[in-house]
Amino acid sequence: MESAAYFGDVVRQISRAVDDEEDVEFNESTLPVLRWCPSIRKQIEGGNRLTCSVLVVAVGAEAVGFCQAYLLPEDPEILGVFSTRMTTLDKNSFSQKADLDKTCYIHRIASSPEVLVVLCKSTVAPEQSFTWTEQLFEHIKTENLYVTVISSSLVTEYRSNRLVSELPTPFLRALRSTAYKAKPQSPFLESPNMVSGLPAAILNHCQIQSIAAVLYVSFVDSPHVDVDSMKVFQPVLSATPVKHLVQPGPEASDRLKKFVEVHLNTINLYT
């Protein structure tokens, strides 16, 4: 299902409805599962929601590498983890922290306890995105909440009058909810382009619930992560309120290079 989104852009919404002739079966085993650490579980079981002023959700390897380099300390606190049903073709590690693992970790920044950063290294299936989003926001206070979502897409999915080979990749585009009044740090995503999957589900949820949210999507020319495909998100560091979260220190470039090395080694291990 497609609908006109904000400022004339188009977002493919996640719909649970199917056509009559479609034979689609939903069952609990295919849904994402959110598990909180004991202290947070005790808090939410008492009927309390997590206090959160800033929520950053990184979807995909490029976005995750960027957040790890610029927003998170070396050893961030883990509050919870989303796990999604794996198939027999999926590869996963015992630690569930490898780049190909189907897990999304929810981190809290110790110096800013009202800031949550969610890292999704692997793609969340479209049919799981609605439930994923509902589960996350169910336990978060949304009053005065700012949400930033960053993700990547291949440039072959970008619609333009120019040839793909003529587009200077990587480049950044943005969408925002009506409640987000600030100007994004990149041009808006032009029609008839659209986003889908988890980023679209989160932005649609924020639009419906009147939550200030901005989505940045980078368009890259390769499915393999490199430093440039992560650095394209750097304009986001100038945006409010993300600019107040940037970790001090000059080692960000080294952390980006290390992320690329680990990511490539993980892929080569399973090929």
pLDDT 10s digits, 69-117: 888 877 788 999 988 755 444 444 334 444 444 578 999 988 888 999 9
Position 16 scores a pLDDT of: 34
**Is the CB of residue 218 less than 8 Å from the CB of residue 171?**
yes
CA–CA dist 215, 176 (Å, integer): 6
Report helix, strand or coil for 254.
helix
**Is the CB of residue 2 less than 8 Å from the CB of residue 12?**
yes
pLDDT 10s digits, 216-232: 999 998 888 888 889 99
Assigned token pair, 207: 């639009």
pLDDT 10s digits, 3-23: 334 433 434 443 333 333 444
**Residue 142 burial by Cβ neighbours in a 10 Å radius (0-12, 13-18, 19+):** middle
Query: Is the bond leading into 170 cis (omega within 30 degrees of zero)?
Result: yes
Average pLDDT in the chain: 80
| Residue carrying structure tokens 């291990």 | 269
pLDDT 10s digits, 34-63: 889 998 998 888 788 999 999 999 999 999
Among residues 190, 210, 226, 243, the alpha carbon closest in space to that of 143 is found at 210
Residue 233 has, within 13 A of its CA and on its CB side, a CA count of 34
Position 112 scores a pLDDT of: 86
CA–CA dist 149, 227 (Å, integer): 19
Helix (H) or strand (E) holding 82: strand 77-83
Among residues 221, 174, 201, the alpha carbon closest in space to that of 62 is found at 221
**Is the CB of residue 147 less than 8 Å from the CB of residue 206?**
yes
Give 11-14's long-range contacts (Cβ < 8 A, gap of 24+): 11/175, 11/194, 11/195, 11/196, 11/200, 11/203, 11/204, 12/194, 12/195, 12/196, 12/200, 13/200, 13/201, 13/204, 14/126, 14/129, 14/130, 14/196, 14/197, 14/200, 14/201, 14/204
DSSP designation for 50: B
